[in-house]
Amino acid sequence: MKPLNQVVSATPPSGIRRLFDIASQMQDVISLGVGEPDFVTPWRIREAAIYALERGYTTYTSNAGLLELREAVCSLQRALYGVEYDPQQETLITVGVSEGLDLALRAIVNPGDEVILLEPCYVSYQPNILFAGGTPVPVASRAEEGFRLRPEAVEAAVTPRTKAIMLCYPNNPTGATQSRVDLQAVVDIAVKHDLYLISDEIYDRLTYVGRHTCVASLEGARERTVLLNGFSKAYAMTGWRIAYACAPRPIAALMTKIHQYTMLCAPHIAQRAALEATLNGENDVREMVADYDRRRRFFVRGLNAIGLDCVEPTGAFYAFPSVRRTGLTSEQFAERLLQEERVAVVPGNAFGASGEGCVRCSYATSMAQLEEALARMRRFMERNRVFAEQEAKATTG
């Protein structure tokens, strides 16, 4: 038989899923790995979906999505960040931000184009660039700098083949946010070199320190930025697979064209639920974010207390502690922690080479689960410390 697609064949499976496939076969596992809210979708949103089903809203919508929802999304962006989009020509409802990312890359990238991405970053970014025919160009951020975006490093990565820069703040996996000054500096680089920007802002509402900066609202950004956002995280709607993309008309038109031939439209009932979330879900968002903030401070304090050095995340719902003190790689640490203490975390190298030496822990779970996870991780660290000391004595002896 003739060979299958070489790019897809060469792409490894998701680094998030491998350990969790193992964990799913084990008893009494505390999962700190999958980035999913532990809240049930608020009742008002579920009720809107039930009502939509009862009313028979089970048909296709327009390819771009319900106009009411697009109008509500544009109103929300205007109210939160002062950025204006045309709901009819510049807004597309997508099946999750994942689809929006795929559409944006396929609309922008030609074979051989380079796309700069800031690492550590979500596991799907590099594969999606490759699937679109592009070449990923990683730029590392460092834990000792609080995973700060370094504009000078971004500009150093620009070549004549560079086409776009991908951003994701608040960040998955580090939980880092960025200053308006640094983000504006990256926009200035994009303007200087005539580059596109793809900004994944799915965690925008989960910002705990300061205010979120919408990249498209920055000077010079709007006409070259694809803004991706959705309902999964802030509204606890992961399984609904509903999101949106806002972009200048030429980009939005190409994204919609691809969407027409592949996904057709997002599920009608999910769009009705998302409309309710956008119009009336603000109090629910605030309550959930306040709870995440409480867990964030408790969990990060606990990680540092047991010897896992952790920069305090200022957004999303992830901590990204260093495991270097243990002498283990991130994969060794994650595998041994799962086998020995039944706590599942994600190895940092799943998020790019610069993630090595860290593991991603999601604190989107109950306080009781976080307390038990810390107790188990403490036992693991103490046992590993004794083992390391014995090894050191044996080596020097």
Of 281, 301, 327, the residue at which a domain comes to its end is 281
Tell me if 180 sits within 8 A of 214, measured CB to CB: no
Closest CA to 235 of 288, 294, 193: 288
Q: What is the pLDDT of residue 93?
A: 98
Same domain, 252 and 289: no
386 found inside a domain? no
Domain holding 86, by residue range, is 43-281
Same domain, 297 and 207: no
350 found inside a domain? yes
d(CA 29, CA 74): 41
288 found inside a domain? yes
User: Residues of the chain whose pLDDT is less than 70?
Assistant: 17, 19, 23, 386-397
Q: What is the pLDDT of residue 388?
A: 54
Same domain, 155 and 266: yes
End-to-end CA distance of the chain: 59
Q: What is the pLDDT of residue 211?
A: 95
Give this prediction's pTM: 0.93
The residue type found at 112 is: G
1 found inside a domain? no
Distant-in-sequence, close-in-space partners of 18: CB < 8 Å, separation ≥ 6:
none
Q: What is the pLDDT of residue 21?
A: 72
In 142-195, where do the E strands start and end?
162-168
* SS3 at position 139: strand
Same domain, 189 and 219: yes
Same domain, 18 and 82: no
How many domains is the chain partitioned into structurally? 2
389 found inside a domain? no
In the chain, where do the E strands start and end?
30-31, 91-94, 114-119, 135-140, 162-168, 196-200, 225-230, 243-246, 318-319, 343-344, 346-347, 359-362
Closest CA to 382 of 307, 295, 282: 307
Distant-in-sequence, close-in-space partners of 366: CB < 8 Å, separation ≥ 6:
38
Q: What is the pLDDT of residue 87?
A: 98
Same domain, 365 and 263: no
394 found inside a domain? no
Same domain, 272 and 146: yes
Residue 271 CA to its chain's centroid (Å): 21
Of 228, 250, 281, the residue at which a domain comes to its end is 281
Bridge partners for 118 per DSSP: 139
Tell me if 174 sits within 8 A of 311, measured CB to CB: yes
Tell me if 215 sits within 8 A of 185, measured CB to CB: no
131: domain CATH number is 3.40.640.10
324: domain CATH number is 3.90.1150.10
User: For the segment 169-223, what is each residue's pLDDT rounded down to a tens digit?
Assistant: 999 999 999 999 999 999 999 999 999 999 999 999 999 999 999 999 999 999 9
Same domain, 19 and 157: no
Of 281, 301, 319, the residue at which a domain comes to its end is 281
396 found inside a domain? no
- H or E stretch at 368: helix 367-396
The residue type found at 121 is: C
The token pair that represents 320 in the structure block: 């990204």
Residue 250 CA to its chain's centroid (Å): 26
155 found inside a domain? yes
Question: In b/e form, how buried is each residue of 311-328, taking b as 16+ CB within 10 angstroms?
Answer: bbbbbbbbbbbbbbebeb
Separation in Å, CA 58 to CA 49, 50, 54, 262: 11, 11, 9, 19
Separation in Å, CA 88 to CA 66, 220, 293: 10, 22, 36
Same domain, 163 and 289: no
Tell me if 205 sits within 8 A of 212, measured CB to CB: yes
Same domain, 276 and 292: no
Same domain, 321 and 367: yes
Same domain, 199 and 310: no
